[in-house]
C-alpha cells in the first residue's frame, strides 16, 4: 500500500509540473482538450497554474476562509498561449506552492473545501490535480501518459476518500441514489498489488483496500484504471466483469471539483 509523505507530495507537485512542461514544449496549445471540453491546452495550463498559485496563497497566508478563484475559472483570456510563455509560469507556480507547503508542514490550520483538513489537503490535492491535468494535456497532444505507480495509487486512494466524505451527499444529493443493497465495486490493478473495494450498501459510501467478490469488477493496468476512475478514458482499455451499469452509474455520480 502506498501512502505518500507530505515531503514526497511537495516534490511531486514540482515533478509532475516539470513532466507537463516537457510535454508541451513546441506544441500547439490551441489544441482542444477532449477530457475538458470547454478548454484548449493553453487554457488547461492556465487553470492548473492558477489553482496552484491560489493554494499557495491560502497556505502561505494561513487563510481561514475561501479566497477569490476567478483567475483560474474564467479562461477566456488564455485562448492563444505559447509554450515558451506558459511553461516557465507553470514551473514558477508549482515551486511557489511546494515551498509554501514545505514551510507550513502538513498540519497548518488553513481553510479547506472539505471538513477537518489542514495544509496536507493541498499537498495531496495538488499532487493529483497536477497529475491528472498532465494526463489531460498529454492525451490531447497525442502522447502517451504513464503515471508513477506510487503516485497513481495515492491518487486512487484520494479520489475514493473524497468521494466517500459524508459532506459530498450535501454538495451533491444525487449521490444518495447510488446507495442500495448489493451494490459493490472492485477495482484491480493487473500490473501491481493495488486493489480497492467501494461499498454502496450502507447509509454512506465506504471504501477499503482488498480483494472481494463484488457486483462489478474492473481489471486493468493501474494508469488505465485511474483514467477510468477520473473519467478521462472510457472502459475500453479495461476488463469489466459483472454489472457494468453500476460502474457507469458510480462514475457518473461520484465527482468533485
Confidence of residue 213 (pLDDT cuts 50, 70, 90): very high
Banded pLDDT at 98 (limits 50, 70, 90) = very high
Residues 131 and 158 in one domain: no
User: Domain range spanning residue 48?
Assistant: 6-145
Rounded Cα–Cα distance for residues 167 and 153 (Å): 23
Q: Is the pLDDT of residue 175 over 60?
A: yes
Q: How many domains does the chain fold into?
A: 2
Residues 217 and 235 grouped into a single domain = yes
Q: What average pLDDT does the structure give for the chain?
A: 95
Range in 99-103, 167-171, 184-188 the model is least confident about = 167-171
Q: Which of 155, 163, 222 is nearest to 187 (CA)?
A: 222
Residue 257 has pLDDT above 60, yes or no: no
Average the pLDDT over 116-130 and give the result.
96
pTM over 0.85: yes
Mark whether 16 and 57 lie in a shared domain. Answer: yes
Q: Is the pLDDT of residue 1 over 60?
A: no
In a domain, 30, yes or no: yes
The answer to whether residue 116 scores a pLDDT higher than 90 is: no
Exposed / middle / buried, residue 26 (Cβ in 10 Å: 0-12, 13-18, 19+):
exposed
* Domain end point (choices 145, 178, 200): 145
How many C-beta atoms lie closer than 10 Å to residue 249's C-beta?
Answer: 16
Q: pLDDT tens digits, residue range 30-89?
A: 999 999 999 999 999 999 999 999 999 999 999 999 999 888 888 999 999 999 999 999
Quote the pLDDT of residue 97: 98
Amino acid at each position: 500500500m502506498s501512502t505518500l509523505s507530505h515531503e514526497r507530495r511537495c516534490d511531486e507537485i514540482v515533478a509532475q509540473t516539470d513532466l507537463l512542461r516537457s510535454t508541451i514544449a513546441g506544441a500547439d496549445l490551441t489544441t482542444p482538450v477532449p477530457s475538458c471540453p470547454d478548454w484548449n491546452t493553453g487554457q488547461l495550463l492556465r487553470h492548473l497554474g492558477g489553482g496552484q498559485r491560489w493554494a499557495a496563497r491560502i497556505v502561505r497566508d494561513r487563510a481561514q476562509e475561501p479566497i477569490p478563484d476567478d483567475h483560474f475559472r474564467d479562461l477566456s483570456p488564455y485562448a492563444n498561449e505559447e509554450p515558451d510563455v506558459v511553461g516557465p509560469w507553470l514551473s514558477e507556480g508549482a515551486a511557489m506552492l511546494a515551498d509554501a507547503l514545505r514551510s507550513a508542514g502538513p498540519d497548518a490550520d488553513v481553510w479547506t473545501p472539505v471538513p477537518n483538513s489542514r495544509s496536507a489537503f493541498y499537498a495531496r490535492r495538488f499532487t493529483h490535480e497536477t497529475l491528472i491535468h498532465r494526463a489531460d494535456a498529454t492525451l490531447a497532444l497525442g502522447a502517451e501518459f504513464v503515471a508513477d505507480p506510487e503516485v497513481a495509487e495515492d491518487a486512487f486512494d484520494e479520489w475514493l476518500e473524497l468521494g466517500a466524505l459524508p459532506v459530498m451527499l450535501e454538495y451533491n444529493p444525487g449521490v444518495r441514489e447510488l446507495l442500495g443493497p448489493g451494490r459493490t465495486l472492485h477495482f484491480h490493478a493487473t500490473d501491481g498489488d493495488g486493489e480497492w473495494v467501494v461499498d454502496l450498501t450502507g447509509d454512506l459510501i465506504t471504501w477499503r483496500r482488498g480483494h472481494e467478490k463484488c457486483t462489478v469488477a474492473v481489471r486493468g493496468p493501474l494508469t488505465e484504471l485511474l483514467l477510468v476512475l477520473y473519467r478521462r478514458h472510457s472502459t475500453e482499455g479495461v476488463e469489466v466483469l459483472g454489472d457494468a451499469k453500476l460502474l457507469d452509474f458510480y462514475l457518473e455520480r461520484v465527482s468533485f471539483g
